[in-house]
Amino acid sequence: MKRTFDQADVNDLQQKVLALPYVERLVIIDFVMSDLVGFMLNYFELRLSQIQYLNTMSLALKTELSIGIAESWNNDLAVDFQKESSSVDEEEDTPKDIILSRYNSSSTPPVANSLLPTGYFSIRIVYRNTAYR
């Protein structure tokens, strides 16, 4: 059964993926790396506007998302996923920003007293308030 693309169901899927034996988890990681859109379509019930967004997403963004998710899961870490609810009708293609954050000790100098583990990856989806434009 496919999940809703919301914070609760994304976190539930991640817990199930991380609980898998490593060899089985690698199959899903490879799927994310080779076909992010296919992965999303396979695991989530998406609205037409979400499918259209995935299909028009830049290769750079797809690559960054794929790598961040794969590296996190490969390091036994859940991606910090936060998705706000749209303040307007959910069927409408609401403008949104996708904010990505990554901490990788091999490429980023350590932050003093940082509690972020190596491989930490965060995805935050924030809907723009179009009422004030």
Which helix H or strand E contains 96, and what residues bound it?
A: strand 96-103
Number of domains, the chain: 1
CB 41 within 8 Å of CB 51: yes
Helices (H) and strands (E) in the chain, counts: 5, 5
Domain span at residue 71?
A: 3-132
What does the alpha-carbon distance between residue 13 and residue 43 come to, in Å, rounded to a whole number?
8
In tens digits, what is the pLDDT along the chain, a chain of 133 residues?
A: 899 999 899 999 999 999 999 999 999 999 999 999 999 999 999 999 899 999 999 999 999 999 999 999 999 999 988 887 654 445 456 677 778 887 654 444 444 444 555 567 888 888 776 544 4
pTM, rounded to two decimals: 0.78
Count of beta carbons in the 10 Å neighbourhood of residue 97:
9
Angstrom CA distances, 105 to 67, 69, 71, 93, stand at: 16, 16, 13, 37
Which helix H or strand E contains 82, and what residues bound it?
A: strand 80-83
